[in-house]
Amino acid sequence: MKYLITGYKGQLGYDVKRELLKRGVKEEDIFAIDKEEMDITDREEVNRVVNDFKPDVIFHCAAWTAVDKAEDMRDACYNVNVVGTKNVVDASLEVGATIIYMSTDYVFDGTKEGLYTEEDKVNPKSVYGKTKFLGEEEVRRNPKHFITRISWVFGINGHNFIRTMLKLAENHSELNVVDDQIGSPTYTVDLAKILVDMSCSDKFGTYNVTNSEYCSWAEFAEYIFESNKKCVKVNKVTTEEYLEITGTKQAYRPRNSRLDKSKLEENFELLPSWKDAVNRYNIELQKEKENA
């Protein structure tokens, strides 16, 4: 089996490669690339790279993820998340590869009372959410596809909420953190395991894939400080209060991002709890610090 990973310099692409190597896949059977090696918005380049390597599986991790910037840079975001994905899907069809695509909780508007299932009607309210859903629609053209809806991602290879909170803890004794957006943090190490499991399977379709259990951003922050023995008081505020206090303008964010993982449990397995994931990530951060 040969594997192509787009967006390798991101948090997830990095861990997908680590997981493949851990399972004994040879280095030469993995082509982990970023935009320097293949610009996904360049159709000819995508065709050439994919046809030359002829992967059996494409992990399409490359994406425009700057949610707020997307509101002012619609065309650029659309070009990466929709046109880029279309190019990768077309190439996957040419070589007969399975495609695994990362989507987002932002495809929902977050107004539902209970948990969101894969069958629930989408209603993205941000440019980012809209383009990721249009990307999903492109991916569905390949019958051999997996679409994973993920949220609140953190991994060792990049910026994320945990790193931001720990950085702020260096010179803040209290912080205002949003408490009315509820979801599940997702550790790329755990996500990568499921994605590789999917690549060995034919249980194609759309899946909600996040770590187990739910929290607000404020509860997430509290646990980050507690588990890292940082003495920082978290002031729980609403989204509106946060925007007023900071004087910032943000893209729409769903209030309820609680995703139902029954389908994942039925076909694969549930990821560990988000607190367990944070504990393991803390160890990874500590090793990073020691090796710096």
Three-state DSSP class for 280?
A: helix
CB-based contacts of 95, cutoff 8 Å, min separation 6 = 50, 51, 54, 55
pLDDT at position 236, please? 98
As a whole number of angstroms, the distance between CA 110 and CA 108 comes to 5
Q: What is the mean pLDDT of residues 53-82?
A: 97
The domain limits of the chain are: 3-160+185-212+257-272
- C-alpha to C-alpha distance for 84 and 93, rounded to whole angstroms: 14
Beta partners for residue 101, in sequence order:
60, 147
What's the average model confidence in pLDDT over 268-277? 98
The mean per-residue pLDDT over the stretch 148-173 comes to: 97
Q: Give the pLDDT confidence of 275-291 residue by residue, as tens digits.
A: 999 999 999 999 999 99
Q: How far apart are CA 11 and CA 13, in angstroms?
A: 6
Query: Which band of pLDDT confidence, cut at 50, 70 and 90, is reported for residue 17?
Result: very high
Instruction: Report how far residue 239's alpha carbon sits from residue 264's, in angstroms, rounded to the nearest whole number.
Output: 30
Confidence check: pLDDT of 146 > 90: yes
pLDDT digits (tens, 9 = 90+) for 70-107: 999 999 999 999 999 999 999 999 999 999 999 999 99
What is the spatial distance between Cα 107 and Cα 118, in angstroms, rounded to a whole number?
Answer: 11
Share of the chain above pLDDT 70, in %: 100
Q: What burial class does residue 69 get, using C-beta atoms within 10 Å of its C-beta: 0-12 exposed, 13-18 middle, 19+ buried? A: middle
CATH architecture assigned to 3-160+185-212+257-272: 3-Layer(aba) Sandwich (3.40)
- Measure the CA–CA gap between 185 and 118, rounded to whole angstroms: 18
Q: Residue 169: is its pLDDT beyond 90? A: yes
* pLDDT tens per residue, range 190-212: 999 999 999 999 999 999 999 99
| Model confidence at 292: pLDDT above 90 | no
Mean pLDDT of 9-14: 97
- At position 194, the amino acid (one-letter code) is I
Which among 8, 101, 106, 128 is annotated as catalytic? Answer: 128
Catalytic residue list contains 128: yes
